[in-house]
């Protein structure tokens, strides 16, 4: 027998939910909407048609099948709203799904209805299986300024030995910094391969591994369905080179539109598949990602923004989606493992919110379990000559390699300006200006971000520090930067050994010029710290066991050692140098003029006890001085 139209409709809805397969985004026809307004009799179902021979032991999706056995009133759907790409009320399809959740009068049907549908299943791993993906805090969370700035660690410090040493071991060869001339707009454009021509289509979000983390959030799937007025769909770019004009020619306006000459709006997420390239060039004045429709960009291939603009857009209010609340969805750009991202001479604004991988502009490897399935290389990219503002993070990366961030402006971003994270390597962060970050730091590298260079940047007027090296990030060079008027320190080193701080200027910061916590082998050469509220250079140890720090992810050692050679520590509020319980401190050829204190140069911490001897060796004898615990010195001599 043939099912009546309403039974057909219910079967189609259930099949879509089960197979995660949707159409290419055709808009509802007026006749279809009119039909949906009409009441329908309860379906008469032939028992012979209700069983699938291959699924007789267990019905597919029992709750949904039970729902299909019940009669339903006709759904009230606004025909205009069903066709409107930017709905102002609850979308028709989402309303229908919501209605179907409620109980209905029983309809006796025997035997129970089962659909003859085979459902493809893919047992993908959890989207977040690495705690570090969700723990994106930094060492400033464990700061207690009133304690850190004024008191030593628990327990009385051991006695110290102060001695003069030879300067031979303190000579620093000029550090070798990367050649920035290799990273420019011309070199980036030379990487574009415009053939073959790619393909554009619309498909389901539900079956895509690269979208799993966005579906898995609380209410995530329902949110995309409500915003899109359908089961969640994605614009797919595959097989070659594509521009926004190709998208306009191929897609309906409900998905993508050129609203005015050179002004484009995306109303669905865009996925650049491996092997594909999307080029947003200078023919594009702006690409706007619709907040109302839940648009964002996921790059798994190559993405080029050259001489253009990308921003989040509120269609209902016809204005940019400026930041209001960290939990409120805003579009974002995420480049996954194996991808390459090049942003050159462009403007990027109003992106991101506080959800995993949705921070703004992100370059991130997949979770460890997904990497084992995809075997994709670390993502990379160049960010050159561009401007970023009002983003949740100006820039974020995770397990990325060889990323270059050069000559950009990061201003008025919310949580961080530039924030490379977790096991990223060989990064170049140079010639950028990062300022007025509202909550935290202008530039920070955190959690095993190693073998990288941060040089010739300006970082100022940020909510906390100008530049931070954090959480076991080692073998990094911080050189020739200007950090000033930050609300906390100029340069901060948290739990990160073997860092070179060379020829930086740190002035007028709200706490210390340069601060080193729980870090050994930190070398400060030829730096200037002037006019900071507290110390020019401050070193200390701190027990972080009783904080909310995840000690498995972020271990620490209560040890600090520094070498301070050359430079000027001038007119800082609490004195030139303060250090508590150092494993060792070496000082040589440091200019200590113009103390703010009327009594002259005044050390604090351990140095206060040995100040006369330190100054005698350093200033009168003009020799290097080393301060070490007496127990360590005795043990070494023995």
**Is 512 annotated as catalytic?**
no
Phi–psi pair at 389, nearest 5 degrees: -150, 155
DSSP-assigned beta bridge partners for residue 330: none
- Cβ atoms < 10 Å from Cβ of 44: 10
Please state, in angstroms and rounded to a whole number, the distance separating the CA atoms of residues 626 and 375: 50
Alpha-carbon distance values, 210 to 23, 147, 311 (Å):
20, 45, 22
25, 255 in Cβ contact below 8 A?
A: yes
Task: Give 323-379 as a DSSP string.
Answer: ---TTS----EEE-TT-EEEEES-EEES---SSTT-SEEEEEPPPHHHHHHH-PPPP
Phi–psi pair at 208, nearest 5 degrees: -95, 120
Which entry of 421, 441, 512, 540 is annotated as an active-site residue?
A: 421
408, 383 in Cβ contact below 8 A?
A: yes
Please state, in angstroms and rounded to a whole number, the distance separating the CA atoms of residues 302 and 393: 22
The pair of structure tokens assigned to 572 is 């800082």
Residue 175 per-residue DSSP state? P
Please state, in angstroms and rounded to a whole number, the distance separating the CA atoms of residues 515 and 534: 10
Task: Give 383-403 as a DSSP string.
Answer: EES-EEES-SEEEEEES-BS-
592, 601 in Cβ contact below 8 A?
A: yes
Please state, in angstroms and rounded to a whole number, the distance separating the CA atoms of residues 493 and 441: 13
- Cβ atoms < 10 Å from Cβ of 449: 29
395, 405 in Cβ contact below 8 A?
A: yes
Task: Print the SS3 string covering 578-625.
Answer: EECCCCEEEEECCECCCCCCCCCCCCEEHHHHCHHHHHHHHHHCCCCE
Considering only CA atoms, which of 459, 397, 448, 406 is closest in space to residue 423? Answer: 448
Task: Give 481-525 as a DSSP string.
Answer: -EEES-SS-SEEEES--SEEEES-EEES-SS-SEEEES--SEEEE
The pair of structure tokens assigned to 230 is 């359908």
- Cβ atoms < 10 Å from Cβ of 190: 9
- Cβ atoms < 10 Å from Cβ of 609: 15
Helix, strand, or coil (residue 36): helix
Considering only CA atoms, which of 287, 301, 395, 309 is closest in space to residue 340? Answer: 301
Please state, in angstroms and rounded to a whole number, the distance separating the CA atoms of residues 512 and 148: 11
The length of the chain is 638
Please state, in angstroms and rounded to a whole number, the distance separating the CA atoms of residues 94 and 111: 30
- Would you please indicate which residues are annotated as catalytic (active-site) residues? 421
């Amino acid at each position: 027998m043939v099912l009546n139209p309403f039974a057909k409709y219910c079967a189609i809805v259930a099949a879509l939910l089960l197979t995660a397969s949707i159409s290419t985004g055709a808009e509802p026809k007026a006749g279809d909407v009119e039909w949906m307004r009409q009441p329908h009799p309860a379906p008469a179902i032939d028992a012979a048609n209700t069983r699938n021979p291959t699924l007789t032991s267990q019905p597919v999706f029992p709750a949904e099948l039970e729902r299909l056995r019940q009669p339903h009133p006709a759904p009230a759907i606004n025909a205009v709203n069903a066709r409107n790409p930017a709905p102002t009320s609850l979308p028709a399809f989402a309303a229908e799904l919501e209605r179907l959740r409620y109980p209905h009068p029983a309809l006796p049907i025997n035997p129970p209805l089962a659909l003859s549908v085979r459902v493809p299943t893919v047992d993908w791993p959890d989207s977040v299986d690495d705690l570090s993906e969700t723990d994106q805090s930094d060492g400033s969370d464990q700061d207690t300024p009133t304690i850190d700035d004024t008191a030593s660690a628990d327990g009385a410090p051991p006695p110290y030995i102060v001695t003069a040493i030879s300067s031979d071991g303190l000579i620093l060869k000029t550090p070798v910094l990367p050649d920035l001339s290799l990273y420019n707009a011309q070199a980036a454009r030379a990487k574009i391969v415009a053939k073959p021509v790619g393909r554009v289509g619309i498909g389901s979000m539900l079956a895509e591994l690269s979208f799993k983390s966005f579906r898995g959030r609380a209410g995530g799937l329902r949110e995309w369905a409500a915003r899109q007025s359908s089961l969640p769909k994605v614009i797919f770019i595959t097989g070659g080179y594509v521009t926004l004009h190709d998208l306009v020619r191929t897609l309906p306006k409900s998905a993508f539109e050129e609203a005015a000459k050179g002004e484009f709006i995306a109303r669905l997420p865009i996925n650049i598949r491996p092997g594909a390239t999307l080029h947003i060039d200078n023919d594009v004045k702006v690409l706007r990602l619709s907040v109302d429709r839940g648009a964002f960009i996921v790059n798994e291939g190559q993405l080029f923004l050259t001489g253009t603009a990308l921003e989040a857009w509120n269609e209902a209010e016809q204005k940019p989606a400026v930041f209001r609340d960290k939990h409120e969805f805003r579009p974002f750009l995420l480049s996954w493992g194996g991808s390459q991202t090049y942003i050159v001479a462009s403007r990027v604004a109003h992106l991101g919110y506080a959800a995993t991988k949705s921070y703004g502009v992100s370059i991130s490897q997949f979770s460890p379990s997904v990497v084992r399935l995809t075997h994709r290389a670390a993502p990379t990219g160049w960010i050159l000559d561009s401007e970023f503002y009002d983003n949740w993070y100006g820039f974020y990366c995770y397990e990325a390699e060889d990323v270059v961030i050069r000559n950009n402006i990061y201003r008025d971003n919310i949580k961080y300006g530039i924030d490379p994270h977790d096991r990223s390597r060989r990064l170049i962060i140079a010639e950028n200006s990062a300022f007025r970050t509202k909550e935290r730091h202008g530039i920070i590298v955190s959690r095993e971000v190693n073998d990288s260079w941060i040089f010739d940047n300006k970082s100022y007027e940020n909510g906390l520090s100008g530049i931070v090296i954090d959480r076991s990030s080692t073998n990094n060079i911080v050189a020739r930067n200007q950090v000033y008027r930050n609300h906390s320190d100029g340069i901060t080193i948290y739990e990160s050994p073997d860092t070179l701080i060379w020829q930086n200027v740190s002035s007028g910061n709200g706490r210390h010029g340069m601060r080193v916590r729980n870090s050994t082998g930190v070398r400060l050469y030829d730096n200037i710290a002037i006019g900071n509220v507290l110390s020019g250079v401050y070193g200390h140890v701190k027990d972080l066991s009783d904080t909310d720090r995840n000690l498995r992810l972020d271990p620490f050692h209560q040890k600090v050692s520094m070498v301070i050679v050359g430079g000027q520590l001038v007119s800082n509020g609490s004195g030139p140098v303060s250090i508590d319980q150092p494993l060792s401190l070496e000082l040589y050829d440091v200019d200590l003029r113009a103390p703010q204190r009327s009594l002259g140069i005044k050390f604090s911490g351990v140095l206060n006890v040995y100040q006369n001897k330190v100054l005698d060796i350093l200033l009168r004898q003009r020799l290097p001085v080393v301060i070490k615990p007496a127990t360590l010195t005795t043990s070494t001599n023995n």
